[in-house]
């Protein structure tokens, strides 16, 4: 199969680009923008050497089908915490009562795949019992920030008519606000139980876990009448792997090693707008 090689970075050294081009015996080097380059008709047999060169220069790379176009895709499915936004919401909620280190340790373990997600969420939420619900608003207003490049990525996808699904093991308090703010088509997550203005330490209903994320991707895909190859999934933790496996293209964004190993592409250095060149010509 003919492939193009996408090279991306804050600064792409000309010498490194030429070395990679030689390794791949490319027909041409095309600038996509100041941070991204397309190496046309690239031989993908020297990936280990390319990976070494890119890592040394802090560049991301990905081989993509020669004829792929952004318009080939119709749905993008995104994780929220540490993917669409820069924080882990539950860790920041915990910080309001001085237990962030304890909760963050459980979060990290779950992200690495060491603890089943549902168990980890139950344990973490239980530690929040008694917290005033106003803390959620404080986290949203004071600490939640969109990941750099998120709005550029979403605007471009939405302009092409690509539907958007935000699916998270986090909480509806945040996903619903982001859905409205970013004009996303769908969102799904967990609901914290609040009684008399305080968190009870429980989640309402069934926990949306890794399988739940995959189920939501397939539910929306089927509703839209799409094939798997028309779906993009973006995530960073072990809880995203089942979802990413259901997509035609999966992107590990500043992800844990287990996720980088299983994704179609890994973005370790660039912002979220770097997803776009990996999807093909605009």
Active site members = 79, 81
Please spell the DSSP secondary structure of 167-212, one letter per residue: EEEEEHHHHHHHHHHHT-SEEEEEEEEEETTEEEEEEESS---HHH
Beta partners for 146? 85
CA distance 46 to 140: 45
Q: 157: which 2 tokens? A: 């996808």
Nearest to 247 by CA among 78, 85, 111, 8: 78
Other C-beta atoms lying within 10 Å of the C-beta of residue 52: 11
3-state secondary structure 240-259: HHHHHHCCCEEEEECCCHHH
DSSP label at 229? G
Q: Residues 1, 268, 243, 217: is their CA dihedral positive or negative?
A: negative
| CA of residue 50 relative to chain centroid, distance | 24
């Amino acid at each position: 199969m003919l492939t193009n090689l996408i090279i991306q970075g804050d600064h792409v050294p000309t010498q490194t680009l030429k070395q990679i081009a030689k390794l791949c015996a490319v027909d041409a080097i095309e600038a996509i923008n100041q941070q991204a380059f397309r190496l046309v008709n690239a031989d993908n047999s020297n990936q280990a050497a390319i990976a070494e060169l890119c890592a040394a220069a802090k560049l991301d790379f990905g081989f993509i089908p020669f004829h792929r176009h952004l318009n080939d895709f119709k749905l993008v499915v995104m994780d929220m915490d540490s993917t669409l936004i820069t924080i882990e919401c539950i860790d920041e909620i915990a910080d309001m009562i001085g237990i962030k280190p304890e909760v963050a340790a459980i979060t990290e373990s779950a992200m690495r795949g060491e603890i089943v997600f549902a168990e980890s969420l139950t344990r973490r939420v239980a530690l929040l019992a008694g917290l005033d619900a106003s803390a959620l608003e404080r986290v949203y207003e004071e600490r939640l920030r969109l990941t750099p490049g998120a709005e550029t990525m979403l605007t471009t996808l939405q302009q092409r008519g690509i539907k958007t699904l935000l699916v998270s093991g986090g909480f509806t308090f945040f996903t619903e606000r982001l859905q409205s703010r970013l004009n996303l088509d769908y969102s799904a997550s967990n609901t914290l139980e609040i009684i008399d203005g305080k968190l009870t330490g429980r989640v309402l209903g069934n926990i949306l876990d890794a399988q739940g994320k995959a189920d939501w991707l397939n539910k929306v895909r089927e509703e839209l009448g799409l094939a798997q190859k028309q779906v993009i999934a973006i995530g960073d933790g072990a809880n995203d792997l089942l979802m990413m496996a259901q997509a035609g293209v999966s992107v590990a964004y500043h992800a844990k090693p287990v996720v980088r190993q299983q994704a179609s592409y890994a973005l370790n250095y660039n912002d979220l707008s770097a997803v776009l060149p990996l999807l093909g010509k605009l």
